[in-house]
Structure 1
Amino acid sequence: MTRETEDLLALLAEVRKRLLIPVRDLSDTDAGRRTTVSELTLGGLVRHLATGERLWLEILRKGDGELPEGMLDTGQYAMSETLSHWLSEYSAAAAETDAYVASLPSLDVEVRLPTTPWSPPEPQFWSARRIVLHLIHETAQHAGHADILRESLDGANSTAQLA
């Protein structure tokens, strides 16, 4: 594994941990509770990211441009199952992603992205590097959302929870 791969996977692990701080000590009820006008819930964010990692890993593994089942699921942000279920799924998806990315000979490996309703008309190709960077971006963005949702729920914030 290259130093670049190690660094990117370490950063991805760090933002994953940041996402999980706001869901500490939550009941399933609170994890599924909407605290803003948005449909987002803390449990729904964990579900979305667990599902998203699995979908991006499938895209990276196959690289054939086929749309993975569930990629256009509009209910990804809804809390379903239990929070512990989604935390377990997220942990497993993260481990699979990390292992697969670490096994790649290079982050320059390119894959064809699936065509979605928002895709440009011409085929799109992303490197494994860009997919990992996308996962970092997506996770960091949702970690910020999780902070807001948790503070809206009960006043807790990541700074206080780090202590």
Structure 2
Amino acid sequence: MTETTPVHEPATHDLGEAEPLTGERADLLETLAKHRHFLRLTTRDLDDEQAGRRTTASELCLGGLIKHVAAVERNWARFIVEGPSAMGDFTTMTEADWARRVDEFRMLPGETLAGVLEDYAEVAGRTDELVRTLPDLNAAQPLPKAPWFEPDAQWSARRVLMHIIAETAQHAGHADIIRESLDGAKSMG
């Protein structure tokens, strides 16, 4: 049996003498933090085997969900800065490319819950710093080519951040169902 991994909150960033964030950016960061907390909370006191276990008809497991949310957040944050090249062209993906994406939803051999949570905390810290320092939340980039995006559409940094929040909240709900199916534990209630 592997050790259980407690859920740790990511370290807060030392902003030194910087003014406290207020307004829209503070709201975005607070909302992201809330949904990240509930996603991480579903893994409290679990070991690696439990974090990788499927408990429903779905292919999803808790560790895989966190890996996926971290990967999505990482890619969208890069998109804000680099544009569509950060995400690639989904219309030219090979079967191997799609297989790698599917692996985002699983705990692979050698992966640990602690490692997955640590990666997620690092991604979250970079995104939070981007929210604090981005010159303009209205700055827009064209979306990458994908069958699910409208051709020639653009998203502002603000819209991307709202998408990251929605993705995190949606998967926190999925994770809550998986955890309850695993051992009856609930995040709320």
Q: TM-score, normalised by structure 1?
A: 0.90
The match for 1:95 is 125
What's the secondary structure of 2:148's corresponding residue?
coil
What's the secondary structure of 1:148's corresponding residue?
helix
The match for 1:110 is 140
Structure 1 pair 78/40, CA: closer, same or farther in 2 (3 Å)?
Answer: same
Matched, 1:8 2:36: no
The match for 1:66 is 85
Unaligned runs of 5+ in 1: none
The match for 1:45 is 65
- Report the RMSD for the aligned CA atoms in angstroms: 1.8
Structure 1 pair 123/4, CA: closer, same or farther in 2 (3 Å)?
Answer: same
User: How far off its partner does 1:89 sit?
Assistant: 0.4
What's the secondary structure of 2:123's corresponding residue?
helix
The match for 1:143 is 172
Total equivalences in the alignment: 158
Supply the distance in 2 between the matched residues of 1:10 and 1:53 (Cα, whole angstroms): 16
User: How far off its partner does 1:68 sit?
Assistant: 2.4
1:76 to 91, 94, 104: 104
The one-letter code of the counterpart of 1:88 is E
Task: Give the number of the structure whose residues are more often helix, by fraction.
Answer: 1
The one-letter code of the counterpart of 1:137 is A
Matched, 1:18 2:62: no
Q: TM-score, normalised by structure 2?
A: 0.78
